[in-house]
C-alpha cells in the first residue's frame, strides 16, 4: 500500500494506492494518526490531477481508481462518475437512473461510503430541492467544490 498527503484549500487529503490504482482519498481531521507515507507514481499522478482540478485546469480525472465496495455501491459510484462537471443531481435522480426510484436513501448511504471523493464526484449529489446534504469532507468543502465547478474549466 502506498500513501501520500496533499495540502489543499479543502484541508489535508490522504491519498492511498496499490500497484494498479488509487484506492482512497480521505479528508484528514485534526488529531488523526498519519500513516507511513510511501508514495508511488499513482499517488503522485493523483496529486498532480487533484491540483489541476482545484486550480480550475482540469474537469476530468484520468488516474486509475479501484474503490472497494458492494456491487450496489459500485453501481452507484459508477453513476456518480457520469454526472458532468459543473452539474448536480439528486439522490432520487441516481435511484431512477439505476432503475429503483425508491432507493434514494440507499443511494445516499452508498454516496456516503465513497472511498475516493472528488475523483468520484459525490459532491455533485444534492438533496431533492437542491440543498446541500452530507459530505465526508464537510459541507463547506462540498460547497467549495460545487462553486469551483461553476467556473469555466480548461478541458
Q: Which residues are catalytic?
A: 122
The neighbour count for residue 60, using CB atoms within 10 Å, is 12
- DSSP label at 116? S
Residues counted in the chain: 155
Which DSSP string do the residues of 8-28 spell out, in sequence order?
ETTEEEEEEE-SSSEEEEEE-
Query: 94 - beta bridge partners?
Result: none
| CA proximity to 111, closest of 83, 153, 143 | 83
C-alpha cell at 117: 471523493
Residue 16 main-chain phi, psi, to 5 deg = -120, 150
DSSP 3-state assignment of 89?
A: strand
Amino acid at each position: 500500500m502506498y500513501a501520500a498527503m496533499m495540502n489543499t484549500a479543502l484541508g489535508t487529503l490522504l491519498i492511498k494506492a496499490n500497484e494498479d490504482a488509487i484506492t482512497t482519498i480521505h479528508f484528514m481531521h485534526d488529531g488523526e494518526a498519519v500513516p507511513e507515507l510511501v508514495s508511488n507514481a499513482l499517488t503522485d499522478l493523483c496529486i498532480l490531477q487533484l491540483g489541476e482540478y482545484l486550480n480550475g485546469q482540469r474537469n476530468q480525472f484520468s488516474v486509475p481508481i479501484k474503490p472497494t465496495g458492494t456491487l450496489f455501491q459500485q453501481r452507484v459510484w459508477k453513476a456518480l462518475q457520469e454526472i458532468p462537471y459543473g452539474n448536480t443531481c439528486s439522490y432520487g435522480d441516481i435511484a431512477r437512473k439505476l432503475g429503483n426510484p425508491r432507493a434514494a436513501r440507499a443511494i445516499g448511504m452508498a454516496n456516503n461510503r465513497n472511498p475516493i471523493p472528488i475523483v468520484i464526484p459525490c459532491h455533485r449529489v444534492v438533496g431533492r430541492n437542491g440543498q446541500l446534504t452530507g459530505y465526508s469532507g464537510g459541507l463547506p468543502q462540498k460547497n467549495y467544490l460545487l462553486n469551483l465547478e461553476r467556473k469555466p474549466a480548461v478541458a
